[in-house]
Amino acid sequence: MATPNLPFRWDLVRRDQLGTLLEGRAEPTLPYLDMLIECGAKVLARSGDGDVHFVGRSADSVFDLLSGALSATSRPDRVRLLPFSYRLEQPLLAHEVRQMRANLEAMGLSPRRLARRRRPLVLADLVYAGYTFTHLYGFLREWIDEERESWDVIRLKLRFLGITARRKTSPKTWRWWQDAAWTADLPRRNITNVSIHPYAWSYLGDHQHKLTPSFRRTRWADEAVTMPRHDDKTLDALAEAVALVERGGTSAVRTRIARQMVEEPSFAQPWLRSLVLELRRTRRVPFPPSSEVAT
């Protein structure tokens, strides 16, 4: 069995690793904050009370905002990151399969754990044509079959949530899941979407500098990804991510997330009503200043 190899990313809620990294850096502008708040609220509301794993890096800002918002609730670990990048490439080699399986198992996503989890696993990502979802689904399905775990059990717990660029709707509107044959293997309610303004989608998916390098197959076993980077672009991305976590922890943003959730059909469900109450009652989260924690 391969040794797990996962990209390094600072814990932006506890911040015991930041030290003075951000001293003297300008305050980030946080573009599209309003759209991120709306998106984050809808992702949570449409998660079916599941554990949301943001695939790759595209939706890192949504993760950071929600990490701050949920940090003082009873659900601080309901949003996580799932490093994975694999698109239009050649079939995986045996050692690559072993490595990614080790990585996923370290994150609690082995077939055995999937079959025995109580809450749904929600895989969320920015989606254009759905290639990343297609490859990740195929990877998991093959692994599940090899391990002889019950697909009939796992299929009820596995959900895919696409964050799409908003467009005009009509009976002829193309939707990514309609061309992905594998989606028919899951209950229809387990495939859902959240749409955001095209400018915000393009910023997150095409232009925003990320805190970690793309975790493509050539890096799955590369130990260099486990070390932090301190170049200027990475530190700019770090400042933006920290600011989003802080903003998410404010009463104003948590109230806005709660207000957006109330408008969702799923608000009729007890778990979402309970979360809304928590978000409204929690005071501002006292995150430690990064300059006051150890390096």
Interior angle at CA 119, CA 269 and CA 204, nearest 5:
85
For residue 66, the SS3 value is helix
Q: Say what the pLDDT of residue 290 is.
A: 54
**Residue for token pair 């002829």:** 172
- What is the average pLDDT across 149-156? 98
pLDDT of 66: 98
CB atoms within 10 A of CB 3: 10
Residue 225, pLDDT above cutoff 80: yes
Cβ burial of 93 (10 Å; 0-12, 13-18, 19+) is exposed
**What pLDDT sits at residue 168?**
80
Q: Is the pLDDT of residue 271 over 90?
A: yes
pLDDT in tens, 80-129: 999 999 876 789 999 999 999 999 999 999 999 999 999 999 999 999 98
Judge whether residue 207 has pLDDT over 50: yes
Amino acid at site 112: R
Q: How far apart are CA 58 and CA 60, in angstroms?
A: 6
Alpha carbon 236 to its chain's center: 20
- The stretch 68-89 carries a mean pLDDT of 92
pLDDT at 287: 75
For residues 30 and 28, give the distance between their C-alpha atoms in angstroms, rounded to a whole number: 6
In whole angstroms, what is the distance from residue 45 CA to residue 28 CA?
Answer: 28
Average pLDDT over residues 160-181: 85
> Please, is 266 exposed, middle or buried when counting C-beta atoms within 10 Å of its C-beta (0-12, 13-18, 19+)?
middle
Mean pLDDT, rounded, for 4-21: 92
What per-residue confidence (pLDDT) applies to 56?
96
For helices 251-262 and 270-281, what crossing angle results, to 10°?
Answer: 160
- Rounded mean pLDDT, 206-223: 95
For residue 198, pLDDT beyond 60: yes
Helix, coil or strand: residue 194: strand
**Ranges of each domain in the chain:** 33-286
3-state secondary structure (DSSP) of residue 55: strand
Angle at alpha carbon of residue 23, lines to 22 and 24, rounded to 5°: 110
Q: Which residue has the higher pLDDT, 58 or 288?
A: 58
pLDDT at residue 180 greater than cutoff 70: yes
- Span 272-286, average pLDDT: 87
Q: What is the pLDDT of residue 289?
A: 66
The CB density around residue 11, as the number of other CB atoms within 10 Å, is 11
Average pLDDT score over residue span 229-242: 96
E strand map for 114-157 = 121-126
Q: What region does 118 belong to: left with phi over 0, alpha with psi -120 to 50, or beta?
A: alpha
Q: Is the predicted pLDDT of residue 293 greater than 50, yes or no? A: no
